[in-house]
Amino acid sequence: MSSILTNNSAMVALQTLKSINNDLTSTQSVISTGKEVSSAKDNAAVWSISKTMESDVKGFKAISDSLSLGESTVAVARNASETVTDLLTDIKGKIVAAQEENVDRSKLQDDISALTEQIKSVVGAAQFNGQNLVDGSNTGTNTNGNTGIDVLSSLDRDSSGTVSASSIGVDTQNLSTSAGLDITAGTGTGSASVATLAASGGADDVDITGFTFLDTSGAASGGSALKASTAGVDDTVINGFVVGDEVSLKIGDIEGTYRISEGDTDASVATGLKDAMQNAGLSTDDFSFDLSTAGTLTIENLTSEANIAVEYGVSRGSGALAGLENIDVVNDAAGALSEIENMLDGAIDAAAAFGSVEGRLETQADFISNLSDSLTSGIGSMVDADMEETSARLQALQVQQQLGIQSLSIANQSPQSILSLFG
């Protein structure tokens, strides 16, 4: 039955053409974006998975940067440790030469002192972006439970979708000659009688006094400084001095330090502090120094300035090279040889430790790079368009669109044939 009110053929042709146009629009979108799934409406499940993976890839790029930074930091520390090892080897050569009686040990001592200063310079300069792993300044605890830093190394996602970060712990290796244990100033290690200096005419002097030394019985009743390696000395006792301890005194903005040497007495410590403060710039025009009382340094404020702060402290070197500055081939060549062997072992161990963790960081960086590439490829396989297939589909749809238009045109002409029945 033909009808001029309802053209079923035209409706079918129209619906077919609309479907073709929708497919054509979708195909053109795939061509323009290069993605089969470019939004959640294309395929919600695949889109969701791809976005999660994309966020992980961005996270791994940040981790790659972290590993590069960590690797550079450790490389600086390793190079410093290796340089210190070479310098200690040179010092050992000087000490071995000093074992011979017919040598100028004082000249050898000068060479050792110069090499020691070079080692201190290397250790102090071995920092990357402000992080120094060899000077004993780092006090943080890493994932290994040791003093050191953590380098972000991985982003881990479990089957439930929970994400956690992993780190590689880098242990510090203390190659300093002084940094170490802070000892509370007080009984046996000296003290300051006042915390501030008043102006002239008031309580304007400070007494630095009360020095004792560790002895060979494990206590602190000695009269002179001994080496920590001396039999019977317990360097964990903190109420007396041992060779290498550093005494600091700060008055106002001027700070001086004195390192305990073998054989020091309370009088020589007081004298050493006086010289240190004067060398640091504490003017004898503004302050007077008095050593008339044995074992006591008295400093008087001669200025009109009131409440000048006084700070006194003591630290015990715990670095592998804490005794380096006290090596004395002039008076104890045999003892110096034993000490340098221990220090050399410490520097070699430090370089080996840094080399090991540097290799681990490098391996992890390579893995993260390859993993990021694999994830990127996986995302592409899920959402990227097959452009060869899309091109063929586009041409087919364009032909279908033309045929659909032609079919709709024919269907729209059908009612015209009814007019012939009324001719």
**Which pLDDT belongs to residue 181?**
59
| Rg of the chain taking only CA atoms, in angstroms | 40
Q: Would you place residue 224 in the very low, low, confident or very high pLDDT band (cuts 50, 70, 90)?
A: very high
Q: Is the pLDDT of residue 150 over 90?
A: yes
Q: What angle do CA 401, 403, 407 make, to 5 degrees?
A: 115
Mean pLDDT highest for which of 57-71, 151-165, 391-405?
Answer: 57-71
Report yes or no: 245 and 231 within 8 Å, Cβ to Cβ: no
Other Cβ atoms less than 10 A from the Cβ of 373: the count is 12
pLDDT classification of 118: cutoffs 50, 70, 90: very high
Q: Using CA atoms, how far apart are residues 215 and 276, in angstroms rounded to an integer?
A: 26
Lowest mean pLDDT among 24-33, 99-108, 153-162: 24-33
Report pLDDT for 318.
67
246-251/254-259 β-pairing: antiparallel
Residue 179 above 60 pLDDT? no
- Give the pLDDT confidence of 306-320 residue by residue, as tens digits: 889 999 988 876 677
Q: What is the pLDDT of residue 248?
A: 87
Cβ proximity of 147 and 140 under 8 Å: yes
Q: What is the pLDDT of residues 125-148, one digit of tens each?
A: 999 988 999 987 787 788 887 778
Range in 53-62, 92-101, 172-181, 302-311 with the lowest mean pLDDT: 172-181
Taking residues 147-174, report their average pLDDT: 87
Question: Can you say how many angstroms the Cα of residue 84 is from the centroid of all Cα atoms in its chain?
Answer: 20
Spell out the domain ranges in the chain: 47-176+332-376, 180-317
Go through the chain and tell me how many residues it has: 423
pLDDT tens column, 73-107 = 999 999 999 999 999 999 999 999 998 888 899 99
Closest by CA position to 238, among listed 261, 258, 219:
219
**What pLDDT does 136 receive?**
78
Digit-coded pLDDT (tens) for 272-296: 999 989 988 898 999 999 999 999 9
Q: What is the pLDDT of residue 296?
A: 94
Q: What is the residue-wise DSSP string for 166-219?
A: EEEEEE-----SS-EEEE-SBTBEEEES-SEEPPTTSS-EEEEEEE-B--TTSS
Q: Does domain 47-176+332-376 have CATH number 1.20.1330.10?
A: yes
Q: What is the mean pLDDT of the chain?
A: 86
